A and B are shown apart, each in its own frame.
Chain A
Amino acid sequence: MNVIKKILPVLSILLAIAVQIGLKNSNLHPQTKPYFTYVLLGILIIYSILFILTFFHKGLDEKISYKAYFIAGAVLFFNILNLVTAKLAILPVLYFPALDRVFGVMVEQREVLVKCVLYSTRLLGYGVLFGALVGIATGICIGFSKTFSYWVSPVIRVLGPIPSTAWIPLVLISFPTAVSASAFLIGLSVWFPTTIMTSSGISNVQNSYFEVASTLGARRFYQVFKVGIPAAMPNMFLGLFNGICSSFVTLVTAEMIGAKYGIGWYINWQKEMLSYANVYAGLIIIALFFSVIVTLLFRVRDKVLIWQKGVIKW
């Protein structure tokens, strides 16, 4: 039974290959190399290797059996998509290019795309680092200093909720380069949720933790760093998660202002040229890119918050 379940994805891939090779492409679509076939063959090879390994590795076996339906279903979805676009041209050809072309863009324009991803990573890296550091610092100061909170909290309450992209006109004239302007905008969008979650995390720490620390001889400064901050860590990660998600929105918008490369810039540019195959290729890459970043964040969280029983799952 289990073996049949594990074979389902293989059947689904073979079916997709049969459709792809057996049926002729519609004349409405421009002819390209059959990149989708290569992708399917690649998946088939990888899956077959995993399938063989499942007989020797119990953990992998459980994972693959669990995912088998999903893999088969996903391949079937692309199979149908391929059928209604390339093979039958049921959907408008301009907006729904053949999968061959979408994958073809990834191969043929790989240099531009890699450059775009690197540029976006750099921009996001600067922005997130800057926003997260300033956000955590502001949050800690608000959480522990009444005076700081008195002066800064109202400002945050007014300025925080403004979408950072609304600052574009002001930012454009105040920053020397497009990169620094965009990094600032991204930082701003990370800063707000991180600050709010950090400060509320600190003010919600059980008072008895501070009391017990003080009876053990810990001074104020030590209490801030060894009790307040670790206790607020789960909230800080929540803030970072929210911040990073909104930084993706800002990244795509910010890359419209004078960026030379970048994945958001690429998608915008290709959309204006009506090259939808390139737009889809860009979208797939951006989805993978952001997903990897969030996965990394959660990996770090699981390491740091090993003492906590899981809250949000990714």
Chain B
Amino acid sequence: MVGQISIDNAVKKFTSVDGEEIVALNGINLDIRPGEFISLIGPSGCGKSTLLRLIAGLDFPNSGVLTLDGKQIKKPDCERGFMFQNHTLLPWLNIYDNIAFGLKARKIYKEKKNEVDEYIELVGLKGFEKSYPHQLSGGMCQRASLARALVGHPKVLLLDEPLGALDAFTRMNIQDEILRIREEHNMTMIMVTHDVDEAIYLSDRVVVMSARPAKIEKIVDIELPRPRARSNPEFLRYRAEVLKMLNYGGEIREVEYYL
């Protein structure tokens, strides 16, 4: 079983425009089991995406170590697939070529050609292979981007609010697709999201992060059998619990400002 990630005391600092030092991540420790689905949730700008980018190897921690299966993460690699908030499909390639991009870049396209069609079918884009991204809807582009991230069989799939820009129905459909793919291919998935329902519906554990400098506030184990029902009372209890941690519990808060 592969896809075990450990994050050991990761610190990430940025320098702001006026030269001030901003601590984005303040000593994050987290161990992710192989095949686990983890959601990172927290207020805007709390460093969830930064953490995800560190795991991807797109950014580097100022101190601390991140490892995948015992190997330190030093640069982006195809064993850690990344799905961005915007679909980031290359506009000059059609859907087929976009999905085949990684295989071609790694020069394994000839052997794995049939997988491209397989994944196109899996995400429901059959018949749109020749279309260009600008001709498709946002949901379809996001599906293509999912297929592109999956086709190289990464050990870990990193999802940076991938469904944030989609309408509610498309979002729920793609959530189910993501779960199905996870079951079939048994990969570790880590998702940044703002949507509490989405986090609980998908995750084995929900990691709640605090505002800047980001720390892990609490880790909630979601012990619900799958497939999960969004209206199940247990589901709603988890929902209330997570919302409360994020200070949206519904209790009367001290009024901090007047309109």
- By size class, the interface of chain A is 20 to 34
- Tell me which residues across on chain B come within 8 A of A208, comparing CB atoms: 84, 86, 88
Bound together, the chains give a CA A32 to CA B148 distance in angstroms of: 72
Complex interface: stretch among A124-132, A226-234, A236-244, A295-303: A226-234
Bound together, the chains give a CA A227 to CA B91 distance in angstroms of: 10
What residue of chain B has the Cβ atom nearest to residue A223's Cβ? Answer: B105
Tell me, yes or no, whether B189 is within 8 Å of chain A by CB: no
Can you list, as one digit per residue, whether each of B218-252 has a CB less than 8 Å from chain A (1) or not (0)? 00000000000000000000000000000000000
Complex interface: stretch among B15-23, B72-80, B178-186: B72-80
Bound together, the chains give a CA A231 to CA B92 distance in angstroms of: 7
Contact for A213 among B57, B81, B105, CB less than 8 A: B105
Bound together, the chains give a CA A208 to CA B78 distance in angstroms of: 16
Tell me, yes or no, whether B110 is within 8 Å of chain A by CB: no
B90 touches A217 (CB 8 A): no
Distance to closest chain B CB from A224 (angstroms)? 12
Distance to closest chain B CB from A155 (angstroms)? 31
Contact for A307 among B56, B91, B105, CB less than 8 A: B91
Tell me, yes or no, whether A222 is within 8 Å of chain B by CB: yes
The winner among B57, B75, B88 for most chain A CB atoms within 10 A is B88
B148 touches A216 (CB 8 A): yes
B88 touches A217 (CB 8 A): no
- By size class, the interface of chain B is 20 to 34
Distance to closest chain B CB from A222 (angstroms)? 5
Contact for A226 among B56, B80, B105, CB less than 8 A: B105
Distance to closest chain A CB from B81 (angstroms)? 6
Which residues of chain A in 172-231 are interfacial with respect to chain B, using CB atoms and an 8 Å cutoff? 206, 208-209, 211-219, 222, 226-227, 230-231
Asked, given contacts A208-B84, A212-B82, A215-B78, whether A308 binds B105 with beta carbons under 8 Å apart, the answer is no
Can you list, as one digit per residue, whether each of B194-221 has a CB less than 8 Å from chain A (1) or not (0)? 0000000000000000000000000000
Tell me, yes or no, whether B119 is within 8 Å of chain A by CB: no
Distance to closest chain B CB from A212 (angstroms)? 5
- Tell me which residues across on chain A come within 8 A of B134, comparing CB atoms: 307, 309
Tell me, yes or no, whether B102 is within 8 Å of chain A by CB: yes
- Tell me which residues across on chain A come within 8 A of B106, comparing CB atoms: 216-218
Distance to closest chain A CB from B5 (angstroms)? 15
Contact for A216 among B57, B94, B101, B132, CB less than 8 A: B101
- Tell me which residues across on chain B come within 8 A of A214, comparing CB atoms: 58, 75-76
A217 touches B105 (CB 8 A): yes
Can you list, as one digit per residue, whether each of A301-314 has a CB less than 8 Å from chain B (1) or not (0)? 00001111100000
Asked, given contacts A216-B101, A218-B102, A307-B132, whether A230 binds B92 with beta carbons under 8 Å apart, the answer is yes
Residues of B within 8 A of A (CB): 56-58, 75-78, 80-82, 84, 86, 88, 90-94, 101-102, 105-106, 132-134, 148-149, 152
Residues of A within 8 A of B (CB): 206, 208-209, 211-219, 222, 226-227, 230-231, 233, 305-309
